[in-house]
Amino acid sequence: MSNDTITLSAKKRDVLGKQVRALRAGGQTPAVLHDHGKESLHIVIDEAELKRVFNAAGKHHPVELKIDGKAYTTLIKELTHKPATNKLYHSVFQAIKANETVKAEVPLRLIGEIPAERKSLLVLQTIDHLEVEALPKDLVDVIEIDATSLEEVGDRLHVSDIKVPTGIEIKTDPETSIAVVEMPKDQVAEADAAQAELAEDAGSTEEVEAEHGTTEEEGGESEGEIRPGGKKEKEDHEQGTNPTKQ
């Protein structure tokens, strides 16, 4: 974990319910602090400052939350935006202790030169964070996974492929997919068109062969062809002539 201390100031609030609309209109964000079974503290935070801190701390880096002069070591557990806007609607903080494990969301990053990308294939990262449990001192700012094994369409990485940092327990399901290699849509369209063309060509060939076979069937034996048991052999037999002795 980064040793940088991230601090944020807040004030207690008595305004609850629908009355908090006025706070939001004034650039303040209502929030709540949960503290180990104690009565939750209702607080208010400057919206711009809260955005700055969240961008730096996310849901994994401890934040020193100062409320009316008293400091709490916390994690941001929830940050709600108003639908269709970037305005912060509400936030939840959890007080933590140095000697107790906490659950957090740590960002996940693919590293290494990926062979699939050199082949112009598409590498889709399907999750961007992991649920972990650790002591506050063992939390990290990012968990990295080597993606150099991604080479062909269908190649995947799973949570179970991660080399887990010391002191951290990953709670996300080990079978969860992290990244998958796919063919770009334009290449898929080209491949489909080529396949359709091949199928059309194959169909045309079958039609020609079918027509040719029908003509031979209708025409029977070709001119000048003498087959065993054919007309000429029958005539020779009737005349008592053995063609092999001539």
Report field, pTM of the whole predicted structure over 0.85: no
Residue 145: Cβ-neighbour burial (10 angstroms; 0-12, 13-18, 19+): buried
Three-state DSSP at 34 gives strand
> Binning pLDDT at 50, 70 and 90, where does residue 238 land?
low
Predicted local confidence at residue 202, as pLDDT: 65
Three-state DSSP at 212 gives helix
Q: Which DSSP category does 85 fall into?
A: S
Residue 14: Cβ-neighbour burial (10 angstroms; 0-12, 13-18, 19+): exposed
Q: What would the mean pLDDT of 195-200 be, rounded to a whole number? A: 70
pLDDT in tens, 117-132: 999 999 999 999 999 9
Comparing 7-11, 58-62, 139-143, 211-215, the range with the smallest average pLDDT is 211-215
- Domain range list for the chain: 6-96, 104-186
Predicted local confidence at residue 83, as pLDDT: 80
Q: What would the mean pLDDT of 32-37 be, rounded to a whole number? A: 92
Q: What would the mean pLDDT of 208-231 be, rounded to a whole number? A: 50
Strands 28-34 and 41-46: antiparallel
Give the fold, CATH level 3, of 6-96.
Answer: Ribosomal Protein L25; Chain P (2.40.240)
Dig out the tokens for 58 from the structure: 């996310």
Give residues with Cβ within 8 angstroms of 201, minimum separation 6: none
Reported for 167-171, long-range contacts at CB under 8 A and 24+ positions apart, including other chains, are 167/134, 167/135, 167/137, 167/138, 168/106, 168/132, 168/133, 168/134, 168/138, 168/139, 168/140, 168/143, 169/132, 169/133, 169/134, 170/130, 170/131, 170/132, 171/103, 171/130, 171/131, 171/132, 171/133
Three-state DSSP at 170 gives strand
CATH number of 104-186: 2.170.120.20
> Binning pLDDT at 50, 70 and 90, where does residue 160 land?
very high
Mean pLDDT computed over every residue of the chain: 84
Three-state DSSP at 136 gives helix
